[in-house]
Amino acid sequence: MNPVRLAHRVTDGPGGPPVVLLHGLGDTAGTWDRFAASLAGSRTSIALDLRGHGASPWPGAYTVDAMVDDVVAFLSDAGPVDVVGHSMGGHVASVLAARRPVRRLVLEEAPVPPREGDPLPDDPPARPPGPLDFDWEVVAPMRRALRAPNPRWWQGIERLATPTLWISGGPTSHLDPARVVSAAAAMPNATTATVPVGHLVHDDAPDEFARLVIPFLSADGETPTP
């Protein structure tokens, strides 16, 4: 698939590598507005609408690789960046970091696919009524992709030396926190933190999210204690 031109919003900060923000399935760049405002005291952020979402093109063809290709193309003239991804955007970020320079990586409630065996159970949602700000056709293929066994993804993160912070929403999330711990343990330079508010950590605990992430992204900041 050919890359599409991604819509985005920039929040200017004083310097340092830009922080690229990738939203979850069915969301848009606007989900990051509060965090981007918190980050503006130290860094510039770039929140993207991934393909099929918001103001970016809705081409009707959706795969993880296509979303990664779009972001790689968007960043073609950029140097190293930091990347923060939520849910589907976190999975895209984990693949992106193997494709181009990423200085630091934050994966908030990112789905962890099985290494092998059967796909993870799925209970597909019904389409909400009324107009949507994303293409409903993106839902089924992306949910299938994120639940399918993927040994290639595991091989990629096992080699990924990028300093990485995994954030779990704890036992009330629909994603198993044990899988997050397993993925982080497989990486050379990863740590985990739990904010027990469910899947939408940056929305439901914005201050705690910022307290964890901003020091981690700081050039001189320490990795948060799990």
Are residues 78 and 99 in contact, defined by beta-carbon separation less than 8 angstroms?
no
Are residues 16 and 80 in contact, defined by beta-carbon separation less than 8 angstroms?
no
Are residues 223 and 214 in contact, defined by beta-carbon separation less than 8 angstroms?
no
Looking at residue 62, what is its pLDDT?
Answer: 98
Instruction: Flag whether 29 is in a domain.
Output: yes
Instruction: Flag whether 207 is in a domain.
Output: yes
Three-state DSSP class for residue 24: coil
Looking at residue 15, what is its pLDDT?
Answer: 80
Three-state DSSP class for residue 121: coil
What are the residues whose beta carbons fall under 8 Å from the beta carbon of 71, sequence distance 6 or more? 6, 20, 22, 48, 50, 92, 96
Instruction: Flag whether 2 is in a domain.
Output: no
Instruction: Flag whether 122 is in a domain.
Output: yes
User: What residues pair up with 8 in beta bridges, in sequence order?
Assistant: 48
Instruction: Flag whether 120 is in a domain.
Output: yes
What are the residues whose beta carbons fall under 8 Å from the beta carbon of 2, sequence distance 6 or more? none
pLDDT by residue for the chain (226 residues), tens digit each?
A: 799 999 999 999 998 899 999 999 999 999 999 999 999 999 999 999 999 999 999 999 999 999 999 999 999 999 999 999 999 999 999 999 999 999 999 999 999 999 999 999 999 899 999 999 999 999 999 999 999 999 999 999 999 999 999 999 999 999 999 999 999 999 999 999 999 999 999 999 999 999 999 999 996 544 333 3
Instruction: Flag whether 204 is in a domain.
Output: yes
**Terminal Cα-to-Cα distance of the chain (whole angstroms):** 39
Looking at residue 107, what is its pLDDT?
Answer: 98
Looking at residue 225, what is its pLDDT?
Answer: 37
Instruction: Flag whether 223 is in a domain.
Output: no
> How many domains would you assign to the chain?
1
Looking at residue 221, what is its pLDDT?
Answer: 40
CATH number of residue 125's parent domain:
3.40.50.1820
**Can you give the residue range of the structural domain that contains 34?**
8-217
pTM: 0.95
What 8-state DSSP symbol labels residue 54?
Answer: T
In angstroms, the CA 171 to CA 81 distance is 31
Distances 84 to 42, 119, 125, 128, 209 between C-alpha atoms, Å = 15, 26, 26, 27, 11
Instruction: Flag whether 178 is in a domain.
Output: yes
